[in-house]
């Protein structure tokens, strides 16, 4: 297990997993979101090749409508 920060909250997740696996492990079910790791957005095509590291700061962001 490793400790990370997700949307400002400490989480423990399985070590050596990618973004796609992390999203599933955290039971994040919303559609159409973006992921940033340590303030850098990650392209969807890189979710399977990007491995989560201990102490990563991850933001899972849903689009917001405004006007």
CATH number at residue 45: 3.10.20.30
Q: Whole-model pTM? A: 0.86
pLDDT for position 52: 98
Residues of the chain with pLDDT under 50: none
Look at residues 30, 29, 22, 24 and name the one whose alpha carbon lies nearest to residue 54.
22
> How many whole angstroms separate alpha carbon 65 and alpha carbon 44?
21
Q: How many domains does the chain have?
A: 1
Quick check: is 42 in a domain? yes
Quote the pLDDT of residue 67.
Answer: 60
**67 falls within a domain:** no
| Per-residue pLDDT at 29 | 81
């Amino acid at each position: 297990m490793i400790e990370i920060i997700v949307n400002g909250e400490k989480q423990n997740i399985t070590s050596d997993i990618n973004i796609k696996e992390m999203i599933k492990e955290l039971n994040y079910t919303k559609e159409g979101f973006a992921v940033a790791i340590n303030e850098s957005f990650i392209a969807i095509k890189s979710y399977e090749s990007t491995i989560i590291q201990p102490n990563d700061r991850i933001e899972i962001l849903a689009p917001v409508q405004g006007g």
